[in-house]
Structure 1
Amino acid sequence: MKRRHFLRGSLALTALTTLEFAPWHVVSAVAREVDEFVRGPVVKDHPLEQLSPHVWMIHSPDGFPTPENQGMMCNLTFVDTPRGLVVLDSGASVQIGEMAIRQLRQKFPGKPVLAIINSHYHGDHFLGNQAFVEAFGDLPIYAHPGTIAAIQGLEGNMWRTLMEQWTNQATAGTRVIVPNQPLAHGQELRFGSLTLRMHHYGKAHTPADICVQVVEDGITYVGDVAMDRRIANMDDGSYLGTLKCYAELERNAASRLWIPGHGRPGAGVLQWNRELFQGIYEPCVQAVQEGQPLEAAKALVLRDPRVASRARETAGFESNIGKYVSLAYLEAEAAAF
């Protein structure tokens, strides 16, 4: 048994024995102290990279959480405004957030973090909130209302638990800090001379994705609406909605650079994802129209040149393509009625 598991179990048993008849708020406070005492290890430093005059990023080299990467799977993006720094997604744990703060303090000594924007409710994008709140006090944490409701509900603690499991407790000690400021499509946040414009075009990666356009720099952070050489998790999403989102972003947030939550930024990020998603969804539509079963749809997808040409370079392709085809097939069936 790992030492952290043993310590957590021992402390929890002691707390339960001691507080058997204590009020619930006291039990909750002790449980929180147990979690904070048994913390995962420090995350190694990852460097800041400058993408534009005001936008910086800590790139995550991995796309999936493991014990080895300690949950470092999502890019962390920062906007350097005249008043202070704005965080666009805070990472998958308090330890990752603390690592990011170390980098920011080296590069921008004395400059405060003013706000956080969480692009959606998957844990690798919001579980680092805790570190920034502990370091900079109560912050406005912005998100779509659907994201706020999801994190307040089942998604918050579910993602915290999953991240601990996937990383062998490396993220232990992380607490869920829920966003506290709702965002709407078209809303603008101004920080001195910089404008952050919000884009939401319905259900895409999730029902509540927010993409953040840094207007003056011609850059848009798209979160997980699009990824670089990885298929976005579509369990909560929509292929048709995602394709619509790409078209609307190109029309309304025309940017020279698209920053994904996973992978490298680039001018072609949306187009790469568009062709892959079309290559998955359109054969499923064909299969449904012809009355073919799911297995036939999968064969069509794998033969589609838009998919075949990307298979080798797409992280997690072999282990996930079956699920993604199944989701596309179900969506095509629903659209046919």
Structure 2
Amino acid sequence: MEQMSRRNLLKKTLWGSASLVGLSAMTPLYVHASMEFKGPKVPDVDAVKVSDHCYYIPALGSSPSPENYGMFSNPGFVVTPKGVVVIDTGSSVQIGEMILRQIKKVTDKPVVMVINTHYHGDHWLGNHAFVAANQDVKLYSHEAVQKVLKTDGGKFWFDFMQRNTDNKITGTVVTIPNQTLKGGEVFGMGGVTLKVHHFGRMHTESDVAVEVVEDKTIYMGDMVMRRIANMEDGSYKGTIAGLDSVLSLPVNQYIPGHGKHEGKQLILDGKEFMETIYKNTAKYYDEGLSDFEMKPKIMVEPFMKNVASQWSGYQSTLGKFIVVAIKEYEQSMF
């Protein structure tokens, strides 16, 4: 009984510590916590090579679940002469550790930089693993990421992933980025050039994309994807304008935060999806239709019927997208 009490106390302490917001580089907790109370190891997923320096690790599903350990986004990394730059770290310390294992299969160079593309938890909760491996590693993000995670965002995303994976991210500590990006930064990495782009509010107000200039490849985060996901933090008009800006870049390979890498058609389809919803929502709103009345009309639009209907989440989430579009259109009128 005494042994069980100690175990329960440790488990409670680990849970409480992991949920705290504003903590970063919590290496002591990671080192001393009993491994019995750490979630299971995530199976290895081999990295996909996109170009000379660019890789990503494909997601195990389109939404977090116990079966995929919360591995439902695409962590990426760039191998440069000065070291490895990781772009998004997944939903847990366990996923972060898996990323490190895959990097070692490709190169023996150390991870020198981590960039989180935005504040949704599947793109930064794995930061913990990189700080545990190297306490001096720099964690970069847009300033809005740090602001959100230092309030209630860190706890929200930890709890969300813990709940949806049946506690398989246990042991993960909220580890907030410690370096700020605004967009426009250029990092020279020994002959490999990384350009950071911020186009305003798209999927969130904090989105950054990372262009690897010599490879003509760009990591898009969640600015575009063949997936009907969370739009509540984003903007239709902002996304449409941002994707126009992306199309003007000298890039031919696009790595999304979810789904397979593609050529320019990914951006064109992402833009048309947003335009189809927003323009039709505005039209039907002016005609006095409710969101329920709009949905079947929007679903028979050629692009929706022929392309978007094949995307994950289409049937279950399209209605929420229309509600968000209505709110944005209403706000635009004031």
TM-score of the pair, normalised by structure 2: 0.89
2:140: which partner in 1? 142
CA distance in 2, matches of 1:124, 1:35: 24
Q: Call closer, same or farther: CA 1:214–1:121 in 2, change over 3 Å.
A: same
1:201: which partner in 2? 199
1:271: which partner in 2? 268
How far does residue 30 in structure 1 lie from its aligned partner after superposition?
7.9
Q: Output aligned runs, 1:226-245, within 5 Å.
A: 226-227=224-225, 229-245=226-242
Bigger mean CA offset, 286-295 vs 46-55: 286-295
How far does residue 336 in structure 1 lie from its aligned partner after superposition?
2.9
Q: Deviations over 1:232-280 (max 9, x none)?
A: 42010011110010011112x2310111000011112111111111121
2:294: which partner in 1? 297
Q: Call closer, same or farther: CA 1:12–1:47 in 2, change over 3 Å.
A: closer
CA contact (8 A) 2:30 2:171 kept: no
1:309: which partner in 2? 306
Q: Call closer, same or farther: CA 1:35–1:208 in 2, change over 3 Å.
A: farther
1:88: which partner in 2? 87
How far does residue 204 in structure 1 lie from its aligned partner after superposition?
0.6
How far does residue 291 in structure 1 lie from its aligned partner after superposition?
2.2
2:23: which partner in 1? none
CA contact (8 A) 2:30 2:132 kept: no
User: What is the identity, as a one-letter code, of the residue corresponding to 2:247?
Assistant: E
User: What is the identity, as a one-letter code, of the residue corresponding to 2:332?
Assistant: A
1:19: which partner in 2? none
CA distance in 2, matches of 1:50, 1:289: 48
**The residue matched to 2:194 in structure 1 has which SS?**
strand
Q: How big is the alpha-carbon RMSD for the aligned residues of Structure 1 and Structure 2?
A: 2.2
CA contact (8 A) 2:229 2:317 kept: no
CA contact (8 A) 2:291 2:319 kept: no
Q: Call closer, same or farther: CA 1:9–1:240 in 2, change over 3 Å.
A: farther
Q: Output aligned runs, 1:90-169, within 5 Å.
A: 90-109=89-108, 111-169=109-167
CA contact (8 A) 1:36 1:174 kept: no
TM-score of the pair, normalised by structure 1: 0.89
User: What is the identity, as a one-letter code, of the residue corresponding to 1:203?
Assistant: R
**The residue matched to 1:153 in structure 2 has which SS?**
helix
CA distance in 1, matches of 2:158, 2:34: 12
**The residue matched to 1:237 in structure 2 has which SS?**
coil
Q: Call closer, same or farther: CA 1:131–1:167 in 2, change over 3 Å.
A: same
Identity level (%): 38
2:69: which partner in 1? 70
CA distance in 2, matches of 1:60, 1:299: 31
How far does residue 125 in structure 1 lie from its aligned partner after superposition?
0.2
**The residue matched to 2:250 in structure 1 has which SS?**
coil
CA contact (8 A) 2:60 2:68 kept: no
CA distance in 2, matches of 1:60, 1:307: 24
CA distance in 2, matches of 1:195, 1:14: 43
Q: Deviations over 1:26-81 (max 9, x none)?
A: xxx88996686511000000001110001011111311000000000010111110
CA distance in 1, matches of 2:205, 2:13: 42
How far does residue 10 in structure 1 lie from its aligned partner after superposition?
4.8
Q: Does 1:255 align with 2:254?
A: no
User: What is the identity, as a one-letter code, of the residue corresponding to 1:59?
Assistant: P
CA distance in 2, matches of 1:183, 1:30: 28
How far does residue 201 in structure 1 lie from its aligned partner after superposition?
1.2
Structure ranking higher on relative contact order (CA contacts 8 Å, 6+ apart): 2
CA contact (8 A) 1:78 1:87 kept: yes
How far does residue 157 in structure 1 lie from its aligned partner after superposition?
1.6
How far does residue 287 in structure 1 lie from its aligned partner after superposition?
1.1
What residue ranges of structure 2 are gaps of 5+ in the alignment? 15-27
CA distance in 1, matches of 2:209, 2:130: 21
CA distance in 1, matches of 2:319, 2:6: 40
User: What is the identity, as a one-letter code, of the residue corresponding to 2:214?
Assistant: E
Q: Call closer, same or farther: CA 1:328–1:193 in 2, change over 3 Å.
A: same
CA distance in 2, matches of 1:7, 1:286: 62
How far does residue 156 in structure 1 lie from its aligned partner after superposition?
1.1
Q: Call closer, same or farther: CA 1:39–1:12 in 2, change over 3 Å.
A: closer
2:20: which partner in 1? none
1:217: which partner in 2? 215
CA contact (8 A) 1:287 1:297 kept: yes
